[in-house]
Amino acid sequence: MPGQMRQSIWQGYGPQPLQGQANAALCARSNAYPIETYQTPRLNLSKTYFGIELVPARPGYVAAPRSRFWVVSSVSGVQTTPPNTQAGSDAAHLNFMISGTVGLSNAQVNAGVAPPFVAGANTANSGAALFPNTPVYLDVTVAGQGTGGYILVASLAVTVEWIALELGQ
Amino acid sequence: MISNQPGVGPEPSDGPGTPSSSLIAYPMEIFQTPLIDISQPLSGMELIPARIGHIPILIVQLAGEWAIESVVGVQTSPVHVRAGSDAAHSNFLSSTTTPSNADVNGAVVPSLTSLNTTGPGPVTFFPNTPVYFDITVPAAGTGGFSCLARLIIAVNWVTTDGALI
């Protein structure tokens, strides 16, 4: 019976029909990958970085950005210019997280909150072309600047939802 | 390059030597309290366990819900709750007053209603410390009021240490 056939269990081998091959065209499928969180090493954001692999590639899948956080682990001195960051799997590294300084503004960094603290990061990009089978890379395009021996150390944590783009019909 | 070993710890995405992120060892998790009478005060219920070297972050898109299972009487003022790993129990959930009177008095049990919070702004977190949940002001009402509900929240885990590159 269809109700019983719906009791298929995710096996971990990839997108799987809910009701068997005969009804594949009419069934949604369980994706192979769970929601995952990736976090960079701690970055000295008073420096620039290019091409840090933020999210790995998975064949046939794209990583849709969900939550994005800076985990600030230390602040020294006073920040006068915030670091600018962006991330993507496209050539410009922009189609995952748009360019900006969200979460690391001067006001937030200099607020005197003792690390570690967490702040939301840049807005997720939507509507941009996606590239399956391609890692998402993070760039720090503008280094943070400051006075008094300024150093800002933080890591970026992103949660991704994997979406298959090569399922066929 | 395609690495996927959930549960074995933060893992390089592209092998040693390449500046890359790591897959967090812990998946997104959902925690749920026992059934609570929100017309009674409560202090120090462990809401989220400690995980070594990690801190839990409230998932904004799944910011929390109450599952209301029983209502007797009519609520006239809502509960005040908070949660955190700091001394004031306020660095995870800001003080919030849901479920509202409308939520409780309109509930067809069992039913869900939003916790209606996005968590506090930048505040100090404490790794290796549980998050505790308090009812600071119980809900009040008339007609022998009581309300039994469970709090459900979803969290991401992030690390606070690791290599500096």
Kindly report, residue by residue over B94-141, the tens digit of the pLDDT. Answer: 778 889 999 999 999 998 988 867 666 788 999 899 999 999 999 999
Please tell me whether residues A18 and A77 are part of one structural domain: no
Please indicate whether, in this complex, the C-beta atoms of A38 and B162 are within 8 angstroms of each other: no
Residue A169 falls inside a structural domain: no
Residues A85 and A16 in one domain: no
| Residue B68 half-sphere exposure toward CB, CA atoms < 13 A | 26
CA angle A23, A27, A31 (to 5 degrees): 125
CATH of the domain at A101: 2.60.120
| One domain, residues A140 and A109 | yes
Residue A73 and residue A18 share a domain: no
User: A155: distance to nearest CA of chain B, Å?
Assistant: 8
Residue A68 lies in a domain: yes
Q: Which residues of B touch A69 (CB under 8 A)?
A: 57, 156, 158
- At residue B163, the pLDDT reads 81
Q: What is the pLDDT of residues B57-107, one digit of tens each?
A: 887 667 678 999 999 999 999 999 999 999 999 899 877 888 999 999 999
Domain shared by A19 and A46, yes or no: no
Give dist(CA B44, CA B63) in Å, integer. Answer: 21
Does the beta carbon of B163 lie under 8 angstroms from any beta carbon of chain A?
Answer: yes
- Would you say residue A1 lies in a domain? yes
Which residue range forms the structural domain that includes residue A26?
1-32
pLDDT value for A123? 92
Whole-number pLDDT of residue A8: 44
Based on the domain organization, do A23 and A38 belong to the same domain? no
Q: Which amino acid is at B126?
A: F
Opening angle at CA B124, ends B119 and B128, nearest 5:
95
Closest chain B CA to residue A40: B21
Q: Identify which of A13-22, A160-169, B52-61, B140-149 has the greatest average pLDDT.
A: B140-149
Whether A2 is covered by a domain: the verdict is: yes
**Chain A contact set for B161 (CB, 8 A):** 42, 73
Domain residues of chain B, as ranges?
29-159
User: Which residues in chain B are contacts of A120 at CB distance < 8 A?
Assistant: 60
- The whole-angstrom separation of Cα B67 and Cα B151 is 7
Size of interface A-B (CB pairs under 8 A): 133
Q: Which residues pair with B23 in a beta bridge?
A: A38
The partner residue sitting opposite A53, judged by closest CB among B21, B124, B157, is B21
Residue A17 pLDDT class (50, 70, 90 cuts): low
**Which pair of tokens denotes residue A127?**
């509507």
Residue B14: predicted pLDDT: 53
A10 shares its domain with A90: no
**Whether residue A62 is found in the same domain as residue A111:** yes
Predicted ipTM beyond 0.85? no
Between residues A157 and A15, the one the model is more confident about = A157
Q: What is the pLDDT of residues A36-65, one digit of tens each?
A: 999 999 999 999 999 999 999 888 889 999
Q: Does B8 contact A at CB distance below 8 Å?
A: no
Do A50 and A1 have their domain in common? no
Q: Please count the structural domains in chain A.
A: 2
Looking at per-residue pLDDT, the higher value among B83 and A3 belongs to B83
pLDDT tens per residue across span A106-126: 999 999 899 999 988 999 998
Residue A140 in any domain: the answer is: yes
Of A39, A58, A66, the CB nearest to B22: A39
pTM assigned to the model: 0.82
Same domain, A26 and A40: no
